[in-house]
Structure 1
Amino acid sequence: MKFASYRSDGRPFYGAVTEAGMIALNDIWPQWSTLFEAVCADGLGALAKAAQDRAVTHTDFEYEMVMPDARRILCVGVNFPDRNAEYKDGSEQPKFMSLFPRFASGFTGHDQPLIRPPESPQLDYEGEVAVIIGKGGRRIAQADAYDHIAALTLCNEGTIRDWVRHAKFNVTQGKNWDRSGAMGPWLVPFTDAAQLDDARIVTRVNGEVRQDDVLSRMMHPIRREIEYISTFMTLQPGDIIVTGTPTGSGARLDPPQFLKPGDVVEVEVNGIGILRNSIEDETP
C-alpha cells in the first residue's frame, strides 16, 4: 500500500494510491487532517486497513510534496565514496557526516515542475532516498535504528549550486529555494530491512542515466545516520532524513550540465517507485 498527498479541484487530500486513482482517507479520521499527522499517530496501518474497503474517489488529481507540513527535514551530504572524490580536495573519507536542514517549502510533488529562479541558472539534481521517522527517540543504537522508520519516499534534492558557496560554512541558502526540489510521489511503509539494504538509486535526465549506485555503498549507512542524529537531537515522529546522493550531479560533470526549462528528471529506486519532474523558470 502506498500513501500520497494530493489536490483535486483545488482541495487538499491524502489517501491510498491505486492504479485506478486515489482513495481519499482524510475524512475517516478528522483528527489526522494531513498525512504527516497520520504518520505522527502511527496511523499508516489503520490507513491501509481502511483503504481495503473503500472505492477510488479521485481520478483527476495532482501530487503534492508527500508531507507538505513536515516540520523537520535533515539532509546528509557527500555520503558516497565517489561523491567525496568529486570534490578533488584530497580528503579522506570523513569520520562524521555532513548535515544541513531543508524546509518543506523547498519541495514540490511528483509530476510538478522544479522551479529555476532568475537569480541563478545553476539548478542541479540529486536523487536520494528519504526515510520517515515513525517512532521517536534519543541516542538510538544502530541495531535498533530500523525500528524507528515508518516509511520511505524519494527525493530530488534540487540545489542552486552557486548559492551554496555564499558563506564559508553553510549551504542552507542554496538548498532551500521554493520548489527547487521534489519529494514523493508517495510513502511506502517500511517493513523489511531489504527495502534499504538492497536499494539502488538511478537518476535520469532526459532519459540519460546520470546517477547509479546502491545504498549499501554509503559511507554513513542509514542505521548510522539515525544513531548519529539522535545523539544530539531527539528524533520525533514525522521527521524526515534525506540520506545522501551518489556521484553524477550536474555540477561535477565536465563541463557542468545544469537543469534548464524543458528537461525532465527521474529518480528511481527499486521497491519505492519513480519521482519525475520537469523544469520551469520562475514566473515573476
Structure 2
Amino acid sequence: MKFATYSANGQVYYGAATDAGMIALSPRFPAWPTLLDVIREGGLDQLAVAAADQPVTHRDVRFEMVLPNARRILCVGVNFPDRNAEYKDGSEQPKYMSLFPRFASGFTGHNRPLIRPPESHMLDYEGEVAIVIGKGGRRIAQADAYDHIAALTICNEGTIRDWVRHAKFNVTQGKNWDNSGAIGPWLVPFDDPAQLDTARIITRVNGDIRQDDVLSRMMHPIRREIEYISTFMTLESGDVIVTGTPTGSGARLNPPQYLKPGDVVEVEVTGIGTLRNTIEDEQP
C-alpha cells in the first residue's frame, strides 16, 4: 500500500495511491488531518485496512510534498565511497557523517516542477532514499534502528551548488531554496529490512542514467545514521532522514551539467517507485 498527500478540486487530501487513481482517506480520519498525524499515531495499518476494496475517489490529482508539515528534515551528505572521491581532496573515508537540515518549504511533490531561481542557474539533482521515523527515541542501538522506521519515500535533494559555498562551515543556504527539491510520490510502510538492504537508486535526467548505486554501499548505513543522530537529539515520530546520494551529480561531471528549464529528472528506488520532476525558472 502507498499513501500520498495530494490536491483535488481545490482541497488537500491524503489517501491510498493506486494505478487507477487515489482513494481519499483523510475524510474518514478527522482526528488525523495530515499524514504526519497518521505517522505520529502509528496509523498506517489502519489506513491500509480502511482503503481495502474501496473505490477510487480522485483521478485528476496534483501530488504535494508527501509530508508538507514535517517539522524536522535531516540530510546525510557524502555517504557513498565514490561520492567522497568526487571531491578530489585526498581525504579518507570520514569517521563521522556530515549532516545538515532542510525545511519542508524547500520541497515540492511528484510531477511538479523544481524551481531554478534567478540568483543562480546551478540547480543540481541528488537522488536519495528518505526514511520517516515512526517510534521516537534517544541513543537508539543499531540493532534496534529499523524498529523505529515507519515508512520510506524518495527524495530529489535539489541543490543550488554555488550557494553551498557562501560560508565556510555550512551548506544550509544552497539546500533550502523554495521548491528546489522534491519528496514523494508517496510513503511506503516499512516492514521488511530487505526494503532497504537491497534497494537501488537510479537517477535519470532526460532519460540518461546519471546515478546508479545500491544502499548496501553506503559508508554510513541507515542503522548507523539512526544511532548517530539519536545520540545528540531525541528522534521524534515524523522526523525525516534523507540518507545520502550516490556519485554522478551534475556538478561532478566534466564539464558540469546543471538542470535547466525543460529537463525531466526521475529518481527510481527499488520497492518504492519513481519520483519525477520537471524544471522551470522562477517567475517574477
Q: Same fold (TM over 0.5)?
A: yes
Q: For 1:201-212, what aligned pairs fall within 5 Å after superposition? A: 201-212=201-212
The CA deviation string for residues 12-67 of structure 1, in whole angstroms up to 9 with x for no partner, is 00000111110111111111100111111100000000001421110111000001
How many Å separate the matches in 1 of 2:5 and 2:98? 30
- What is the one-letter code of the residue matched to 1:199? A
What secondary structure, in the 3-state scheme, does the structure 2 residue paired with 1:113 have? strand
Structure 1 unaligned regions, length at least 5: none
How many Å separate the matches in 2 of 1:10 and 1:105? 20
Instruction: Report the equivalent of 1:76.
Output: 76
How many Å separate the matches in 1 of 2:53 and 2:68? 27
1:121 aligns with 2:121: yes
1:220 aligns with 2:228: no
The CA deviation string for residues 159-188 of structure 1, in whole angstroms up to 9 with x for no partner, is 000000000000001000000000000000
What secondary structure, in the 3-state scheme, does the structure 2 residue paired with 1:150 have? strand
Instruction: Report the equivalent of 1:194.
Output: 194
What secondary structure, in the 3-state scheme, does the structure 2 residue paired with 1:17 have? strand
How many residue pairs were aligned?
284
What secondary structure, in the 3-state scheme, does the structure 2 residue paired with 1:129 have? strand
Instruction: Report the equivalent of 1:97.
Output: 97
The CA deviation string for residues 177-206 of structure 1, in whole angstroms up to 9 with x for no partner, is 000000000000001000000000000000
How many Å separate the matches in 1 of 2:181 and 2:98? 19
Instruction: Report the equivalent of 2:87.
Output: 87
- What is the one-letter code of the residue matched to 2:15? G
Instruction: Report the equivalent of 1:250.
Output: 250
TM-score by length of 2: 0.99
TM-score by length of 1: 0.99
Give runs of ≥4 in structure 1 deviating > 2 Å: none
Instruction: Report the equivalent of 1:132.
Output: 132
- What is the one-letter code of the residue matched to 2:29? W
- What is the one-letter code of the residue matched to 1:182? A
What secondary structure, in the 3-state scheme, does the structure 2 residue paired with 1:145 have? helix
Instruction: Report the equivalent of 1:51.
Output: 51
RMSD: 0.5
- What is the one-letter code of the residue matched to 2:193? A
What secondary structure, in the 3-state scheme, does the structure 1 residue paired with 2:27 have? coil
How many Å separate the matches in 2 of 1:189 and 1:132? 9
The CA deviation string for residues 56-87 of structure 1, in whole angstroms up to 9 with x for no partner, is 11011100000100000000000000000000
How many Å separate the matches in 2 of 1:160 and 1:217? 26
Instruction: Report the equivalent of 2:19.
Output: 19
Q: For 1:162-181, what aligned pairs fall within 5 Å after superposition? A: 162-181=162-181
How many Å separate the matches in 1 of 2:10 and 2:154? 24
Q: CA deviation at 1:9?
A: 1.4
What secondary structure, in the 3-state scheme, does the structure 1 residue paired with 2:163 have? helix
What secondary structure, in the 3-state scheme, does the structure 2 residue paired with 1:274 have? strand
How many Å separate the matches in 1 of 2:68 and 2:223? 25
Q: CA deviation at 1:255?
A: 0.3
What secondary structure, in the 3-state scheme, does the structure 1 residue paired with 2:45 have? helix
Q: CA deviation at 1:235?
A: 0.3
Instruction: Report the equivalent of 2:278.
Output: 278
What secondary structure, in the 3-state scheme, does the structure 2 residue paired with 1:27 have? helix
- What is the one-letter code of the residue matched to 1:113? P
How many Å separate the matches in 1 of 2:248 and 2:44? 34
How many Å separate the matches in 2 of 1:28 and 1:70? 22
Instruction: Report the equivalent of 2:269.
Output: 269
- What is the one-letter code of the residue matched to 2:129? V
How many Å separate the matches in 1 of 2:10 and 2:252? 39
1:237 aligns with 2:199: no
Instruction: Report the equivalent of 1:61.
Output: 61
How many Å separate the matches in 1 of 2:160 and 2:124? 6
How many Å separate the matches in 1 of 2:20 and 2:247? 36
Identical residues among aligned pairs (%): 79
How many Å separate the matches in 2 of 1:164 and 1:9? 38
Instruction: Report the equivalent of 1:141.
Output: 141
Structure 2 unaligned regions, length at least 5: none
Instruction: Report the equivalent of 1:39.
Output: 39
How many Å separate the matches in 1 of 2:107 and 2:138? 27
What secondary structure, in the 3-state scheme, does the structure 1 residue paired with 2:210 have? strand
How many Å separate the matches in 2 of 1:53 and 1:70? 30
How many Å separate the matches in 2 of 1:10 and 1:258? 34
